[in-house]
Amino acid sequence: MITKTKKRAAPRKKKVKPPPEPRVKRKLVTVTRDEIKGTAVQVGPPKLTRFEKARIIGTRALQLSYGAPPFVPLPNTVRDPITIASMELESGALPISIRRLLPDGRHQNIAIKMLLG
């Protein structure tokens, strides 16, 4: 009886992946306080967004609930920290600035007083 031998397939060459391209580090462009003074808002809308407003009021209400002194004189009827924080925001008494970022790494620090006006 004659048997057939199987032919072995030639070994396949492994595909070699090309080395990954090096990542490019982006340079951060910062705007100094001297450049901001007297200039308009360069990043984002010229007013405070509802998300920024909610974040500011929530953060300040948390500070007030932990015993921070309020920045505005309060009537005797107001006891809610959220109401006090919104009163402080509307009066412009909060010494907070907003940092707005762009996807390319640029950012601008904007005082709340510039965004409320």
Burial class (CB in 10 A: 0-12, 13-18, 19+), 88: buried
Nearest alpha-carbon partner for 85 in 117, 51, 60, 111: 60
Name the β-bridge partners of 86: none
| pLDDT-wise least confident of 1-5, 85-89, 109-113 | 1-5
| Any domain includes 18 | no
Q: Is this structure's pTM higher than 0.85? A: no
Give the C-alpha separation, 65 to 70, whole Å: 10
Residue 90: which domain range? 49-116
Answer whether residue 63 shows pLDDT above 70: yes
Residue 84 near residue 74, CB atoms below 8 Å? yes
- Provide the CATH number for the domain around residue 79: 3.90.940.10
* Number of domains observed in the structure of the chain: 1
pLDDT 10s digits, 10-29: 777 778 888 777 776 666 66
Percent of the chain residues topping a pLDDT of 70? 80
Of the pLDDT bands very low, low, confident and very high (cuts 50, 70, 90), residue 116 is confident
| Any domain includes 87 | yes
| Any domain includes 44 | no
| Any domain includes 13 | no
| Any domain includes 93 | yes
Number of alpha carbons in the 13 Å side-chain half-sphere of residue 95: 2
